[in-house]
A = this chain, B = another copy of it.
């Protein structure tokens, strides 16, 4: 397969972790005989320093021409305590999502057995959890009309959905479910909300095109509860912008460690793949960052972006093996970790590369 990948390392630990994400792409390309080419571009503080713009035109052009984007993080300490700075790193991220028409945010919650104890949920409840959230990203009450009365005493936000907005993300979610355990749970509040009733009837209609997928519907309040009570019941979860915002944050706590979670934003064309952790400028350049979320972003790119399921699985298996053998970066180490098994960014990256090569050979 021939693919053109744009790497946007960004700020803070972004470049360090993205280095290993890219190295994994190269290892996979070599092992499976793919033709991946790479370009690189600036975004965030790094771009402001050079061009004055958090998303330079050149970056956007390269993004639009690429088949997928591997992103690190944006952000820098100088902006944190100075709200007066009008040009800010995060603006680059918001703008590129909008320009690329990224209407669906994907968040896999994949729990590695070795890290189950990091969560506040009991390990026996969590073991085996593997959820893929599809959160609608460009509609809902976040983008509907906002009003404030003249006397300032009444305020409103319009929760609004159009059928096509639900249809396009529903198709993506059902397609993903077909490649997974063929279960899809759509979350809404159709017993109270008209926009949820449109959501539900649209999902019900699309479901007819995917008869192999077992489709269920759940109210958001119940879903927030079920996610803690029995997370294993979920495969693909499809939901609106606000409800998805709440559920994915709740689910990231289920997972215990932010350092292991990847995310994708997809839409009309180029997909955008990133770790959910931020720029973490306090540990930048110290070989302390956990590269596994960036590496798992690459697995997501292969699975969701390119449909390369086997390649994606090799990466997950390699990460699983590293963890099973007891290796950890500092952020996921605990009192049972042997001190010589606490690895730096580079050592962890190299170990994953080694196991990927072994897994490819033994297949």
- Tell me the A residues contacting B by CB distance below 8 Å: 120-122, 125, 141-142, 144, 146-148, 152-164, 189, 192-195, 197-198, 220-222, 224-230, 242, 245-250, 252-254
Contacts and interface: CB of A to CB of B under 8 A. Distances in A.
A160 B156 contact: yes
A155 B147 contact: no
A158 B193 CA distance: 9
Contact of A194 (B153, B155, B254): B155
A252 B225 contact: yes
Given A224-B224, A225-B249, A155 B122 contact: no
Given A225-B252, A228-B228, A156 B194 contact: yes
Given A121-B121, A250-B225, A198 B148 contact: yes
A193 B147 CA distance: 10
Contacts of A164: 153
Which residue of A194, A220, A229, A254 has the most chain B CB atoms within 10 A of its CB atom? A194
Given A224-B250, A246-B246, 9 more contacts: A141-B141, A154-B161, A155-B161, A157-B158, A158-B158, A221-B245, A221-B248, A224-B246, A228-B253
A252 to B, nearest CB: 7
A249 B220 CA distance: 9
A36 to B, nearest CB: 35
Contact of A159 (B157, B198, B220, B222): B157
